[in-house]
Structure 1
């Protein structure tokens, strides 16, 4: 039986086309397979819902996205600048070099010794990336990264000059935390009670009544407010009061906490959560706590220790209190 020459040509062309397609497909898959372990960046960081950072011998750092902020270990608010720096690194990190083969063993051994495992999740715990971060290169122009499941380490950077990217990931738990002494908006405040143990007549309490706040002394006697805007400024100040530093490891913490404070603020939210802070002024001329009558009467404070009822001990610049440093006479005179 004779086969039409055009049929033969057609079959040959189809075979050639399939061959070219298969070759192109194979080359593409080979290329994809060869670069998957160097693609460390997550370009759309808005997709990231959770980040877990684990270092040998340390408790994992779990960063969880919430509606308006990030949360550390399901307990503390994360400092906006710190999480912003991390997300910038996650978005822009890129491979810049392959280290020489003779150095592989040492680099991989270092991953096992002090490597930082980084797990990045999307919604519903979808794994977006998992990689390990090692040490810096000798010239400090990059950091060693290795994707989980790979045996090939890479040198990566942010392409922003000399930068130790690891410093954006490898942060102590205390340094992830937002430095906020109070962060309560006025509509969530039920009351604020302020006691001055060394000057009781300046103590007062502000209580939410419908759409306004009443001012009383600590005996419950209603006080006349000279300027109504003063009390508005006061309650607004609790929306965001920062502090200078955590002092949880201060060796004098226990001793200081047994002393009578210069001022005590107890803020009660409408969910009945109490935030209680005791304030202890520091005499800058001696760099020590000073509760002497002479020093307190001057009122010339710069820094204070603060003991909060959630277990934190902090260093505060007095100016950071702003209007929250008011005494009773600031409202009535």
Structure 2
């Protein structure tokens, strides 16, 4: 009976894993079925990850953060955690024969394919990561081409290592929106469609001098300001991150496009394209006397992305003409 059960489980596993083989045809067998980790990170140029729901991450070296996710810079913290797992993943225990059917079902039903390549396209590692085991101290895993599942983990770390591979879509992307060098900024403009008296354009007139002009002439005159004053504002744009992308929120995007934004920020550095963010407040209890600002949302990256912005990091960006 046990032999029959094991054979049946193996058939399920092999049939399920054959699905992944069609997703990425590059094949090079790995000799050691227990050698999950690949510590020579400098050899790795590509990491390919896919799940049974059709989510695919093709991560390659390059770009401003060191890795790319498709056309986008990859998230530095996410890649740091992923590379640690790729380098250090190792077998924690050999499952008892009675546990093998459960591990096989685990991998067949929800395994994530991971393939690691060098710069020549040679596959350095290929395996499947399943769900966590009891106590979340390990995860089911099996090497491509093997019939033997294992429980794997990261040494000196407690938790389910699967989470480091199980990101989807925009979760792989860098959250950096503004990474500005104040010394290189040509201008900063903030329009407030519903508060025109606060709208302004601050532009560099010479190396250490800026000029501030209201966007509505009747509000006030032109102000000449030293670089130190401008730098105090521009430095807030040096290292700014979105909280997360919300491109699946089609209702929120359509609703926003029917409203005037609270602010439209335009910033331009020498040698770079202008960056624009159209920002909308997000309230708790909207429309009531008790409404509370809880966050901002914005169209960013040439109006291609809809992002959630944290209140505490966004409000310091939104200065007005009366601030000078």
- TM exceeds 0.5? yes
Residue of structure 2 aligned with 1:318, choices 304, 307, 311: 311
**Equivalent residue number for residue 252 of structure 2:** 252
Say which SS state the counterpart of residue 120 (structure 2) adopts.
helix
Q: Over the residues paired in the alignment, what is the CA RMSD in angstroms? A: 3.1
Which structure 1 segments of 5+ residues have no match?
1-32
Conserved 8 A contact 1:282-1:289: no
Say which SS state the counterpart of residue 312 (structure 2) adopts.
helix
Q: Deviations over 1:253-283 (max 9, x none)?
A: 3112221122111223445633221222234
TM-score by length of 2: 0.77
**Equivalent residue number for residue 298 of structure 2:** 306
TM-score by length of 1: 0.75
**More helix as a share of residues:** 1
In structure 2, what is the Cα distance between the partners aligned to 1:111 and 1:143? 10
In structure 2, what is the Cα distance between the partners aligned to 1:273 and 1:71? 22
**Equivalent residue number for residue 262 of structure 2:** 262
Q: Deviations over 1:71-118 (max 9, x none)?
A: 443322322222211122222221122223354455345434321111
Larger Rg, first or second structure (1 or 2):
1
**Equivalent residue number for residue 215 of structure 1:** 212
Q: Deviations over 1:119-147 (max 9, x none)?
A: 11233334321111122223432111112
Say which SS state the counterpart of residue 321 (structure 1) adopts.
helix
In structure 1, what is the Cα distance between the partners aligned to 2:225 and 2:206? 21
Q: Is the deviation greater in 218-227 or in 48-57?
A: 218-227
Number of residue pairs aligned between Structure 1 and Structure 2: 290
Change (3 A) 1:45 1:122: same
Deviation at 1:195, TM superposition (A): 0.6
In structure 2, what is the Cα distance between the partners aligned to 1:243 and 1:44? 32
Conserved 8 A contact 1:280-1:289: no
Deviation at 1:289, TM superposition (A): 7.2
Q: Deviations over 1:145-175 (max 9, x none)?
A: 1122222211111133642110111112222
Question: 1:121-140 alignment to 2 at 5 Å?
Answer: 121-140=117-136
Question: 1:62-101 alignment to 2 at 5 Å?
Answer: 62-66=58-62, 68-101=64-97
Conserved 8 A contact 1:194-1:263: yes
Q: Is the deviation greater in 304-313 or in 150-159?
A: 304-313
**Equivalent residue number for residue 12 of structure 1:** none
Which structure 2 segments of 5+ residues have no match?
1-28
Q: Does 1:202 align with 2:198?
A: yes
Conserved 8 A contact 1:278-1:307: yes
Change (3 A) 1:71 1:91: closer
In structure 2, what is the Cα distance between the partners aligned to 1:244 and 1:276? 17
